[in-house]
Amino acid sequence: MNVIGLRAAYRTISQFHENRRLIAWLSAQPWVIWLSPERRKSVLFYGAMIAGAVGVFSRNAKWRDYRALAPWLEHGLAFVFLLGLIYALYRAAINFKDLPPNVRRRPQICFHLLFWLLLGFLWFFPERGGLSLAVLSVIAASFPYLIWRAGYMLLSGQRGKALNSQFRDHLFYIWPIWDGTNTPPGKGHDYLSRMVAQTPESYARTLLGGFKLLLLVALWSVFLELIGALVYGDPKSSFNALFRRYTLGIPRLKQILSEQMALPLVQVWLSLYLELIWETLSLAAKGHVWVGVIRLFGFNIFRNTYKPLLAQTIVEFWNRYYYYFKELMMEFFFLPIYARYFRNSPRLRVISAVFAAAFVGNMYYHLLQHKEPLIFGEWSKLWRLLGARLIYCGMLASGIAVSMLRQQRQRSRAHVMPAGASQRLRRLRGIAGVWTFFAVINFWNVISNLTIAERARLFFSLFGL
């Protein structure tokens, strides 16, 4: 078999989800026909009730050391309250025009204020226990997961798209059975309803797309295990016994930071780049699980991670690395600022919107992620966890703003594409630049016990300073 034949064979295998005969066969299967969009929606609705209950009842499992929250009654009451709150927000979304003008103008801020009021109440009465406080704590701990998902529902109401929707059209993505982080993969009602497969044929196509992502998860997981054994010498890797003697033994970035290891500069830089590759593959594997499962339910949505390591610009990398996080920042921070401020100054307009998303929004999102110290008002702990991230987000926002402005400038110029080798060289230079930028700023993203000054000293030593 020659190279062309091999390429064709690879394409046939890797693009199996677009194989017409396979799609035709799958779409004729009785279960595919039976699983109409309505039936799938019903499965998701009942699944959401179970996922919601499991989520709320396990909410304090990770922070038992904080407070003795345990009895089922607290979680049961919190679940009922949260279900009621989601329903009230749904009613607000479908009757959006009837809301008071101030709420209509800034619905997201009003919703977030509700959460901060709850937090304020918990800070004010920190030590007086009792059932009501315990219930409120569980509710507050559930908020960071729900706040962006319910935010998409309100956004749908604001845009007038929730009018004819039913409660179950929303509940399934607010308490999704595919779980995920606080970032909702698949966004909300507007996006999901546009991407739903309506016919058995399109459902079969979407199913195959889902299977493909789940297969990729298996592949990336094996690859990560191999990197773990061969590069890091990770004792937890399944291949550790096999490759123990051949490992490069390069330390993880977190280890270098926490132990302040004195290593040759080349090794530290290698560790920085490898960390970027490792994190990208890990995120791709996680995101493919969420998106793969969503596709199995007939929503033909975009991948969460799509070849970011081949991106040639910073803004392209950010778009491809964690798509649904970028979309969240875009819809809740970037677009509102872009629509409202500095409309007469295009450059300032872009810069302010980018900083609203990549700096303010990014920081705020991660502040809400640390729910335990937030609920108990542990500010020094929050600073320890997030201080370095301020620098990370500042560098990220600056990089994206410069990249966006540069791209806009290039687009407005009629430029001639270089051909052949010089185009490839330009492409490689772009990719290398993007890798270096994200590898370097990731230095500030890795959680460690170092103070900012200690971390800064290590950071400057990367450049021989």
> Smaller CB distance to another protein: residue 91 or 159?
159
Give first-to-last CA distance, the chain, whole Å: 54
Answer whether 162's CB lies under 8 Å from 150's CB. no
> Smaller CB distance to another protein: residue 128 or 415?
415
- Supply 456's token pair: 């800064």
Residue 177: phi and psi, rounded to 5, are -75, -10
> Smaller CB distance to another protein: residue 417 or 453?
417
Answer whether 200's CB lies under 8 Å from 193's CB. no
In the complex, minimum distance from the CB of residue 404 to another protein, in angstroms, rounded to a whole number: 6
In the complex, minimum distance from the CB of residue 335 to another protein, in angstroms, rounded to a whole number: 4
Separation between Cα atoms, residue 352 and residue 338, nearest integer Å: 8
- Supply 92's token pair: 């607000």
- At residue 196, the 3 state secondary structure works out as strand
- Supply 424's token pair: 């490839």
Which residues of this protein are in contact with another protein, per CB under 8 A?
A: 158-159, 161, 190, 194, 315-316, 319, 330-331, 335-336, 338-340, 343, 346, 350, 404, 407-408, 411, 415, 417
> Smaller CB distance to another protein: residue 64 or 340?
340
> Smaller CB distance to another protein: residue 258 or 312?
312
In the complex, minimum distance from the CB of residue 214 to another protein, in angstroms, rounded to a whole number: 23
> Smaller CB distance to another protein: residue 316 or 378?
316
Answer whether 158's CB lies under 8 Å from 95's CB. no
Separation between Cα atoms, residue 36 and residue 42, nearest integer Å: 10
- Supply 132's token pair: 């009501």
In the complex, minimum distance from the CB of residue 20 to another protein, in angstroms, rounded to a whole number: 21
> Smaller CB distance to another protein: residue 156 or 448?
156
What single-letter amino acid sits at 273? Y
In the complex, minimum distance from the CB of residue 316 to another protein, in angstroms, rounded to a whole number: 8
In the complex, minimum distance from the CB of residue 286 to another protein, in angstroms, rounded to a whole number: 23
Answer whether 340's CB lies under 8 Å from 230's CB. no
> Smaller CB distance to another protein: residue 62 or 105?
105
Answer whether 164's CB lies under 8 Å from 156's CB. no
Q: Using CA atoms in the order 37, 42, 47, 49, what is the torsion angle rounded to 10 degrees? A: 140
- Alpha-carbon separation of residue 243 from 219, 238, 246 (angstroms): 19, 10, 5
Q: Which sign does the torsion angle of CA 393, 180, 29, 9 carry? A: positive
Separation between Cα atoms, residue 437 and residue 320, nearest integer Å: 15
In the complex, minimum distance from the CB of residue 276 to another protein, in angstroms, rounded to a whole number: 22
In the complex, minimum distance from the CB of residue 306 to another protein, in angstroms, rounded to a whole number: 12
> Smaller CB distance to another protein: residue 157 or 228?
157
Report the candidate in 416, 415, 419, 435 with the shortest Cα–Cα distance to residue 316. Answer: 435
> Smaller CB distance to another protein: residue 91 or 343?
343
In the complex, minimum distance from the CB of residue 338 to another protein, in angstroms, rounded to a whole number: 7
In the complex, minimum distance from the CB of residue 348 to another protein, in angstroms, rounded to a whole number: 13
- Helix count and strand count (H, E) for the chain: 23, 0
